Amino acid sequence: MSELPLFKQIESELRQRILSNELRPGDKLPSEAEMIETYGVSRITVRQALAELNAAGLIQKVNGKGSFVAHPRDNPDLGLLTGFYEYMRARGHVARGKLLSVREVQAPARVVRALGLPPETELVRANIIKTVDGVKVAYGFLMAPRVTMDRLLEHDLEYNDALLLLETRLGYRLHFHDIETSALGANAEQASRLDLVPGTPLLRVTFIPYDIEARALAYSEYVFRGDRFSYKARVHR
């Protein structure tokens, strides 16, 4: 028997049904009366479970109609780094990517550590060049398990930001991102891909999105041309 309080047991079961898409966005949850009968608990216990799901953004209550599975945000504000194409297009630029290759590889140690996977795990790697107004601005890769990458490729990685697709098209509930930046000089491959001289300063940025269960979904790493790209942010206390 579970040691969790009854409301947490109900919340956990419903959460899993939502995250596995058994209960899909827009679906109506059973009524409070139905859950009281199904689980053999009090109304206050049911309401505690629903309050937890509502606080997590997984459901929304509609007065007089009941509780419904919430839709992932239609246009989440992921910022310039994680929503590169959308950010550039919103400012009047033509932004898209060119998919150079997609292949299964043994993931580097830094990637499997970041994703919490066993050593020597194989992932699918997609190499991509990003352009703005026809000029090559960034080159890098996205790595993810085969099932995730296959679904991303169905939605055109040459036109859509991968991390945006995870939430708006694939149904993942994103909770936070890890973003790390560092400066480096372009190596031979990076220089060739971006039409630069080796040693040209670049900004390297890695992104790791996490779902609501704090599971890492993918690993993305790009180098950006310093003469074509800058990043500004305002941080409020």
Residue 76 has pLDDT above 80, yes or no: no
3-state helix vs strand vs coil in the chain, percent to 5:
30, 30, 40
Mean pLDDT of 167-186: 85
Mean pLDDT of 23-41: 90
Strands 219-225 and 122-132: unpaired
Query: What's residue 190's pLDDT?
Result: 96
Mean pLDDT of 71-82: 57
* Phi, psi of 138, deg, nearest 5: -145, 150
Query: What's residue 1's pLDDT?
Result: 47
Residues counted in the chain: 237
Show the domains of the chain with their CATH numbers. 6-69 (1.10.10.10), 79-225 (3.40.1410.10)
Residue 236 has pLDDT above 60, yes or no: no
pLDDT over 70 percentage in the chain: 91
Residue type for position 203: L
Give the separation between CA 84 and CA 145, rounded to whole angstroms.
22
Mean pLDDT of 54-79: 76
Q: How far is CA 44 from CA 35, 69, 102, 222, in A?
A: 11, 20, 51, 49
Reported as a pLDDT band with limits 50, 70 and 90, residue 176 is confident
**b/e map of 193-207 (b: 16 or more CB within 10 Å)?**
bbebeeebebbebbb
Instruction: List the one residue out of 36, 39, 43 whose CA is nearest residue 13.
Output: 39
* Helix segments in the chain, DSSP class H: 6-19, 32-39, 43-55, 79-82, 84-90, 109-115, 146-153, 162-168, 188-193
Query: What's residue 231's pLDDT?
Result: 66
Residue 81 has pLDDT above 60, yes or no: no
Give the separation between CA 136 and CA 134, rounded to whole angstroms.
7
* 82-141 pLDDT, tens digit each: 688 888 887 888 999 999 999 999 999 999 999 999 988 999 999 999 999 999 999 999
Choose between 56 and 209: higher pLDDT: 209
Mean pLDDT of 160-183: 84
Highest mean pLDDT among 51-60, 103-112, 163-172: 103-112
Choose between 3 and 119: higher pLDDT: 119
Average pLDDT for the chain: 87
